[in-house]
């Protein structure tokens, strides 16, 4: 029996309606930018397996470091205990994070990092004697699939069964260069009720909303308003973190820094699950008390897993090398050229880019998970490129180690796909 | 600077009030049942690092398998794709799970596995056209720290800042052999409202409630009631799974099987974070439809991470060996002897045991995180044993590979501790 056949027996895949999409492609090998399936077909991983393996699959440096760590210390309770991989990671991170970030809290995935961010915002006020019950978030934001994270996600096409159980969230549009005054006016009304605990947002690029990009100056005005009105700002950089936007973090493009940041995905270079919620000293201080109940009573068993910390530390070392920094610049420039090449194509509605994140909207009506989207996905795969269109948006977020030749192939296949839609 | 000193600079530890507990002990090495700190002191890990590393720290067989996998396939999107480690793990699991469990859904920690269980229960009814808004859970249950998981946790001493945002949950006491009729009466009243979606419970042993144990026959009556009243039962076996209770799963001690099960901790043998939510065909079928919106739109980026799957598969192989099964029996018998040895001590209020989980309540008033608890913890550590008392409860949940000599030392240190309380 093939792996694909065996898969169907017991596995329930994420974000999948199995009756409509019964076939899962079995991948048997991954190296650099190449995925190999069980029939020996190869695919360029042009979305870095959901934006994770930025230094290439099975990166020799990262896997070597993790193999060594596996011989030394695999796991220990992180409450009352600590270890070198977590400490070294914290030092390396603080060195590259926005300069107001000063404390690091561990969890296992983007959803939990956002849950912790929300809890930090709510309890920050609670510990100061103010019970606030409202969060602000962007329309079309996506922050994860647990109840707290779902609540702040505006992209809730499929949240029907759960939305009666969500936190109270008010939504604002993303800043587009023209609506800033209107947004600030809305914020003022919300803030006047004095019930807003925090603002949760994806800075500059909204990933699941199909790489929707917004105005940095407008975002700065929003963050500045929050800062002046004691609204805790929580930057969800799960997708944008670690170089994607051309700087180490999207928040570094914006003058007003966030109080809290959520990180995952590329954090461990695509090797292992881990997430972080970082924060400023102001947030930490609100929990630091002689009153035990003012502490943050949140914890996951594998918090700060030493192997995941090691993978993250090795990844951050790679991120800071000249080679990777040069690649980020080269890919960014290459995407700009490609954008110019396709932007006037009659099937192309618009293009946009932030750092190595490139997106192209087709001038075609498509459902998020509809047939035309599936046809496009199949075309890419048949041509040896793993791209995952979201509705009528085709986007690239390839590993930093992609070669010019591989990148050119990705561009060519996208151009060819324009004739089938 | 020592690791302990460096730790304080940037790390925020889980479940920790840093002002009251500023010192974290730096562990530099773990092998088998032994943890070594940065000063070379050794400790027997008598709680298996929160019940995870049951085959010993840095287990050679598991780490070898994971090292091999790291050369082959590190990570791939699990939506639309699959891989051998996930498939083999699913086959191995179905072979040992209660026989009604037929589908496996991945996530990264116990909290998310419970969130998924709750979503399965709510959406099961929703997909059948019934919107139900209530869950039932045990008093003093603990199911995790994300908003959905916190909602069903009755052990909410520190949930103050968040409890306005919880799902609607009705609580019932655990069955104690005398209150079964009363519980069933309560359940009947709740069920008559026809708003109960599911019942979330830790079968037989409530971990965070300090290894509180309850009556199997009473639990069976509750599960049977739920079955007859279309209430989805979600067994949280995050702590009890994989041999702890003497059988592979606590649910195997009870005639009426759960609809949904949550697994983590020992799943990966203490190497890597991963969790599973498994379910019966009945649950899966409610989501299988031509209507895409009836699917379970939940997913985490590293779902079914191939390295974690490999660690889990190797762990399940070890669990089924004669050596480990014999160890489980031997530790169980050894705990029984120890129980008889201490149960009449004037400082011992009561003892209890399920499989290799042993707990002893001191006849002393103690706060969950109070000074006497800290004194006891320090005594154990000073004597080379890592035990983590919860209030006035001392419990053992050592790796299956603990030697007789190590186990005897754990017992001896516990006996000695009775003279300091």
8 A C-beta contact, residue A235 and residue A195: no
Cα-based distances in Å from B123 to A152, A159, B104, B285: 20, 10, 17, 12
Which residue in B has a C-alpha nearest to residue A65's C-alpha?
Answer: B67
Q: Give a yes or no: residue A263 inside a domain.
A: yes
Q: How many helices (H) and strands (E) does chain A have?
A: 13, 17
pLDDT confidence band for A160 (50 / 70 / 90): confident
CB contact under 8 A, B161 and A123: yes
Query: Which chain B residues are closer than 8 Å to A14 by Cβ?
Result: 78-79, 105-106, 296, 298-300, 303
Asked if residue B127 has pLDDT above 90, the reply is yes
Average pLDDT rounded to a whole number, residues A210-229: 98
pLDDT tens profile B175-190: 999 999 999 999 999 9
Q: Give a yes or no: residue A200 inside a domain.
A: yes
Query: Which chain B residues are closer than 8 Å to A308 by Cβ?
Result: 272-273
8 A C-beta contact, residue B303 and residue A12: no
8 A C-beta contact, residue A49 and residue A269: no
CB contact under 8 A, A17 and B133: no
Q: Give a yes or no: residue B263 inside a domain.
A: yes
Are residues B183 and B255 both part of a single domain? Answer: yes
Asked if residue A189 has pLDDT above 90, the reply is yes
Q: Does A41 touch chain B (CB under 8 A)?
A: no
Query: Which chain A residues are closer than 8 Å to B149 by Cβ?
Result: 146
Query: Which chain B residues are closer than 8 Å to A279 by Cβ?
Result: 12
Average pLDDT rounded to a whole number, residues B74-94: 98
Task: Give the other-Cβ count within 10 Å of A184's Cβ.
Answer: 16
Beta bridge partners of B107: B275
pLDDT at A349: 97
Are residues B48 and B188 both part of a single domain? Answer: no
Interface test with A, best of B276, B301, B385, B399 (most A CBs within 10 A): B301
Which residue in B has a C-alpha nearest to residue A127's C-alpha?
Answer: B161
Phi (first) and psi of residue B178, to 5 degrees: -125, -20
8 A C-beta contact, residue B276 and residue B106: yes
pLDDT at B157: 67
In a 3-state reduction of DSSP, which class is residue B184? helix
pLDDT confidence band for A174 (50 / 70 / 90): very high
The beta-carbon neighbor of A79 closest among B15, B75, B164 is B15
Which residue in A has a C-alpha nearest to residue B264's C-alpha?
Answer: A301
B149: closest CA among A13, A106, A148, A155? A148
pLDDT at A154: 86
pLDDT tens profile A65-113: 999 999 999 999 999 999 999 999 999 999 999 999 999 999 999 999 9
**CATH number of the structural domain spanning residue A277:** 3.40.640.10
CA distance A122 to B382: 39
Q: Where are the alpha helices (DSSP H) in A229-368?
A: 281-287, 306-319, 322-342
Q: Does B236 touch chain A (CB under 8 A)?
A: no
CB contact under 8 A, B53 and A71: no
Asked if residue B83 has pLDDT above 90, the reply is yes
pLDDT confidence band for A388 (50 / 70 / 90): very high
Which domain covers residue B160, as residue numbers? Answer: 63-319
pLDDT tens profile A286-304: 999 999 999 999 999 999 9
Q: Give a yes or no: residue A356 inside a domain.
A: yes
A241 Cβ partners below 8 Å, 6+ apart? A248, A249, A250, A261, A263, A264, A265, A266, A267
Paired sense of beta strands B25-31 and B205-206, if any: unpaired
Asked if residue A157 has pLDDT above 70, the reply is no
Average pLDDT rounded to a whole number, residues A377-391: 96
Average pLDDT rounded to a whole number, residues B4-14: 98
A49 token code pair: 């397996």
B194: closest CA among B133, B263, B249? B133
The beta-carbon neighbor of A305 closest among B131, B158, B272 is B272
Average pLDDT rounded to a whole number, residues A340-367: 95
Are residues A180 and A276 both part of a single domain? Answer: yes
DSSP string covering B287-338 = H-SSSGGGSB----TTTT-HHHHHHHHHHHHHHTSHHHHHHHHHHHHHHHHH
Count how many domains chain B has. 2
pLDDT above 70: percentage of residues in chain A: 99
DSSP string covering B376-391 = HHHHHHHTTEE---BT
CA distance B151 to B197: 14
pLDDT confidence band for A161 (50 / 70 / 90): confident
Helix (H) or strand (E) holding A389: none
Query: Which chain B residues are closer than 8 Å to A146 by Cβ?
Result: 111-112, 115, 146-149
Q: Does B131 touch chain A (CB under 8 A)?
A: yes
Asked if residue A337 has pLDDT above 90, the reply is yes
Interface test with A, best of B31, B42, B44, B80 (most A CBs within 10 A): B80
pLDDT above 90: percentage of residues in chain A: 93
Are residues B67 and B200 both part of a single domain? Answer: yes
Q: Give a yes or no: residue B327 inside a domain.
A: no
**CATH number of the structural domain spanning residue A394:** 3.90.1150.10
Are residues B289 and B337 both part of a single domain? Answer: no
A110: closest CA among A292, A6, A238, A208? A238
Query: Which chain A residues are closer than 8 Å to B4 by Cβ?
Result: 82
CA distance B257 to A185: 55
Return the percent helix, strand and coil in chain B, to nearest 5: 40, 20, 40
What phi-psi label fits residue A65: left (phi over 0), alpha (psi between -120 and 50 degrees) or beta?
A: alpha
Are residues B106 and B52 both part of a single domain? Answer: no
Asked if residue A163 has pLDDT above 90, the reply is no
Q: Compute the Cα dihedral for B332, B260, B102, B228 and give only its sign.
A: positive
Asked if residue B75 has pLDDT above 70, the reply is yes
Are residues B160 and B11 both part of a single domain? Answer: no
CB contact under 8 A, B297 and A164: no
A168: closest CA among B336, B119, B166? B166
Please give the residue that has the higher pLDDT: either A163 or B47.
B47
A22 Cβ partners below 8 Å, 6+ apart? A8
pLDDT confidence band for A15 (50 / 70 / 90): very high
The beta-carbon neighbor of B298 closest among A14, A165, A369 is A14
8 A C-beta contact, residue B175 and residue B218: yes
Beta bridge partners of B348: B362
B79: closest CA among A51, A1, A21? A21
pLDDT tens profile B238-284: 999 999 999 999 999 999 999 999 999 999 999 999 999 999 999 99
DSSP string covering A68-122 = HHHTT-----SSSEE-HHHHHHHHHHHHHS-TTEEEEEEESSHHHHHHHHHHHHH
B418 token code pair: 């009775």
CB contact under 8 A, A147 and B133: no
CA-based angle A403:A404:A406, to the nearest 5? 65
The beta-carbon neighbor of A165 closest among B63, B158, B167 is B167
pLDDT tens profile A358-376: 999 999 887 776 788 999 9
CA distance B394 to B421: 12
Q: Report how many Cβ contacts below 8 Å link chain A to chain B.
A: 405
In a 3-state reduction of DSSP, which class is residue A54? coil
CB contact under 8 A, A270 and B294: no
Mean pLDDT, chain A, rounded, equals 96
Q: Does A1 touch chain B (CB under 8 A)?
A: no
Are residues A96 and A117 both part of a single domain? Answer: yes
Place of tokens 């000073």: B382
pLDDT confidence band for A348 (50 / 70 / 90): very high
ipTM, two decimals: 0.98
Mean pLDDT, chain B, rounded, equals 96
Paired sense of beta strands B196-201 and B134-138, if any: parallel
Strand order from edge to edge, sheet including A393-396? A348-354, A357-362, A393-396
pLDDT tens profile B149-182: 999 998 766 777 888 888 999 999 999 999 999 9
pLDDT at B308: 98
Average pLDDT rounded to a whole number, residues B322-327: 98
A211: closest CA among A38, A66, A397, A73? A397
The beta-carbon neighbor of A74 closest among B271, B293, B296 is B271
Cα-based distances in Å from B83 to A25, B106, B410: 8, 13, 42
Give the distance from residue A144's alpha carbon to the nearest chain B alpha carbon, in angstroms. 8
Beta bridge partners of B206: B212
First-last CA distance in chain A: 35
Q: Does B343 touch chain A (CB under 8 A)?
A: no
pLDDT tens profile A303-329: 999 999 999 999 999 999 999 999 999
Q: Does B43 touch chain A (CB under 8 A)?
A: no
B177 token code pair: 């052999």
8 A C-beta contact, residue B201 and residue B135: no
Asked if residue A332 has pLDDT above 90, the reply is yes
Are residues B271 and B398 both part of a single domain? Answer: no
Task: Give the other-Cβ count within 10 Å of B363's Cβ.
Answer: 13
CA distance B201 to A256: 45
Eight-class DSSP state of B154: S
Given A297, A319, A341, which residue is the final one in a domain?
A319
Given B294, B319, B344, which residue is the final one in a domain?
B319
B272 token code pair: 């890597």
8 A C-beta contact, residue B387 and residue B396: yes
CA distance A87 to A106: 12
Q: Give a yes or no: residue B275 inside a domain.
A: yes
CA distance A236 to A203: 7
The beta-carbon neighbor of B53 closest among A74, A279, A377 is A74
Burial of A73 from C-beta contacts in 10 A (0-12 / 13-18 / 19+): buried
Are residues B44 and B100 both part of a single domain? Answer: no
Are residues B157 and B253 both part of a single domain? Answer: yes
A339 token code pair: 């954008």
What phi-psi label fits residue B293: left (phi over 0), alpha (psi between -120 and 50 degrees) or beta?
A: alpha
Given A319, A344, A375, which residue is the final one in a domain?
A319
Q: Does B28 touch chain A (CB under 8 A)?
A: yes
Give chain B's radius of gyration (CA, Å): 22
A16 Cβ partners below 8 Å, 6+ apart? B79, B80, B295
Q: Does B298 touch chain A (CB under 8 A)?
A: yes
Return the percent helix, strand and coil in chain A, to nearest 5: 40, 20, 40
The beta-carbon neighbor of A112 closest among B71, B105, B111 is B111
pLDDT tens profile B355-413: 999 999 999 887 776 788 999 999 999 999 999 999 899 999 999 999 999 999 999 99
pLDDT at B370: 74
Q: Does B35 touch chain A (CB under 8 A)?
A: yes
Q: Helices A322-342 and A404-417 sit at what angle, rounded to 10 degrees?
A: 20
Give chain A's radius of gyration (CA, Å): 22
Average pLDDT rounded to a whole number, residues A269-283: 98
pLDDT at A156: 65
Give the distance from residue B181's alpha carbon to the nearest chain A alpha carbon, in angstroms. 31
Q: Give a yes or no: residue B326 inside a domain.
A: no
B261: closest CA among B51, B153, B101? B101
Are residues A296 and A149 both part of a single domain? Answer: yes
Q: Give a yes or no: residue B364 inside a domain.
A: yes
Q: Does A115 touch chain B (CB under 8 A)?
A: yes
């Amino acid at each position: 029996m093939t792996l694909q056949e065996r898969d169907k027996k017991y596995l329930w895949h994420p974000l999948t309606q199995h009756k409509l999409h019964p076939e899962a492609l079995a991948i048997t090998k991954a190296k650099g930018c190449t995925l190999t399936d069980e029939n020996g077909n190869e695919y360029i991983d042009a979305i870095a397996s959901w934006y994770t393996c930025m230094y290439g699959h099975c990166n020799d440096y990262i896997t070597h470091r993790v193999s060594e760590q596996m011989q030394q210390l695999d796991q220990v309770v992180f409450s009352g205990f600590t270890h070198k991989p977590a400490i070294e990671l914290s030092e390396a991170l603080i060195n590259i994070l926005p300069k107001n970030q000063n404390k690091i809290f561990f969890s296992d995935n983007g959803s939990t990092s956002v849950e912790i961010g929300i809890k930090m915002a709510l309890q920050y006020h609670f510990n100061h004697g103010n019970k606030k019950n409202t969060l602000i978030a962007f329309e079309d934001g996506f922050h994860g699939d647990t109840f707290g994270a779902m609540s702040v996600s505006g992209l809730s096409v499929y949240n029907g069964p759960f939305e009666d159980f969500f936190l109270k969230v008010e939504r604002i549009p993303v800043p587009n260069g023209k609506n800033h005054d209107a947004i600030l006016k809305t914020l003022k009304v919300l803030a006047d009720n004095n019930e807003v605990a925090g603002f949760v947002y994806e800075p500059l690029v909204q990933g699941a909303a199909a790489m929707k990009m917004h105005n940095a100056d407008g975002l700065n005005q929003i963050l500045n308003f929050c800062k002046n009105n004691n609204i805790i700002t929580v930057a969800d950089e799960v997708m944008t973190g670690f170089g994607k936007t051309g700087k180490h973090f999207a928040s570094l493009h914006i003058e007003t820094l966030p109080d809290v940041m959520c990180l995952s995905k590329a954090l461990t270079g695509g090797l292992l699950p881990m997430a972080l919620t970082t924060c400023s000293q102001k947030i930490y201080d609100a929990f630091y008390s002689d009153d035990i109940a003012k502490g943050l009573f949140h914890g996951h068993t594998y918090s700060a897993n030493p192997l995941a910390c090691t993978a993250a530390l090795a990844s951050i070392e790679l991120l800071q090398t000249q080679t990777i920094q040069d690649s980020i610049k080269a890919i960014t420039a290459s995407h700009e050229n490609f954008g110019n090449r396709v932007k006037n194509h009659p099937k192309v509605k618009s293009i946009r880019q932030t750092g190595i994140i490139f997106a192209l909207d087709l001038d075609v009506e498509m459902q998020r998970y509809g047939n035309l989207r599936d046809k496009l996905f199949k075309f890419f795969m048949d041509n040896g490129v793993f791209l995952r269109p979201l509705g009528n948006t085709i986007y690239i977020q390839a590993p930093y180690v992609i070669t010019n030749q591989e990148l050119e192939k990705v561009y060519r296949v996208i151009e060819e796909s324009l004739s089938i839609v």
